[in-house]
Amino acid sequence: MKKIKIGNTDLEVAPINLGGNVFGWTLDEKKSFQILDAFVAKGFNFIDTADMYSYWIDGGEGGQSETILGKWMKERGNRKDIVLATKVGGETGTHPVDTSKKHILEAVDKSLQRLQTDYIDLYYTHFDDEKTPVEETLEAYDEIIKAGKVRYIAASNISPERLEASFAASEKNGLPKYEALQPHYNLMEREGYESNYAALAKKYNLTVFPYWSLAAGFLTGKYRSKEDLNKSVRGGSVEKYLTDKGLGVITALDKVAEKHNTSQATVSLAWLLAQPQIGAPIASATSESQLQTLFNAPALQLDAEDLALLNNASN
């Protein structure tokens, strides 16, 4: 499988990024281990989590996902084979969004402890408090990179203006630069990324790892009416997509999936992989059959007709 090099780093990842938000939330430890084992058995190596996952279970400080990942890597003895991404700054039950130096220095040690590792490959600014000077955040990253705790940094929910300011500060002060961007981007959510971030990703050579790649499951095609919303715990979050546009996208996905004898989810991920700067869409899976739809995406080459159909429906 062809690997993708992240930004200007020496990290190479397979083109699907397994989302760890379900570990310890909708998947218990045993099932999480099964999904993780199946994922790496197919040659994939890139796993995404965050320190805040899944604080909403008990309103605490989160860490459930990192804890399960740490146990799994320890038991399998495979830390060196995994490219591990986690995040800092997101709100939990114990603190608001926080990108201060003090918070980052404390949070990284907690993440390392839960992950049972001494380094994180890719460390994201998960959410930006928009009040901490970008220089302060980058100085914190500089400190933990020099200490060997983090290899490279990346950005997720940060405004275009603060992203630009961060690169200016990195350049001026010799501080670490973001190497990747994790935006909200999929066939139902194109405008925000394409208008505000795509040009920046190209300008700064950021590898892009879209989250909510399947629009909370809407792009799997299983939600076609309000009656379908009770099919999963996430059903309520896709109701907003049950519009003429949304159903038009599903119709286009149906056509392309039938043509290639594959699933709508696989087509949705393949569409993302066909876009400039995209490295690996992030998607979670709670069953082996869901995993298979992820595995099939990098092998699916959409032709110009497929892409035009999907682009027109989703514009």
Residues involved in catalysis? 53
Element (H, E) at 140: helix 134-146
How buried is residue 259: exposed, middle or buried, by Cβ count under 10 Å (0-12/13-18/19+)? middle
Alpha carbons 33 and 37: distance in angstroms, whole number: 6
**Nearest C-alpha neighbor of 15 from the set 310, 270, 290, 211:** 270
Report yes or no: 291 and 38 within 8 Å, Cβ to Cβ. Answer: yes
Query: Which tokens go with 48?
Result: 């995404």
Q: Is the peptide bond before 54 cis (omega within 30 degrees of 0)?
A: yes
Alpha carbons 256 and 179: distance in angstroms, whole number: 33
SS3 175: coil
Cα→Cα distances 232→109, 133, 178, 227, 236, Å: 35, 41, 36, 12, 9
Alpha carbons 138 and 270: distance in angstroms, whole number: 34
Cα→Cα distances 74→33, 82, 117, 207, Å: 12, 12, 8, 29
Q: Which residues contact 311 (CB under 8 A, 6 or more apart)?
A: none
How buried is residue 102: exposed, middle or buried, by Cβ count under 10 Å (0-12/13-18/19+)? exposed
Alpha carbons 38 and 44: distance in angstroms, whole number: 9
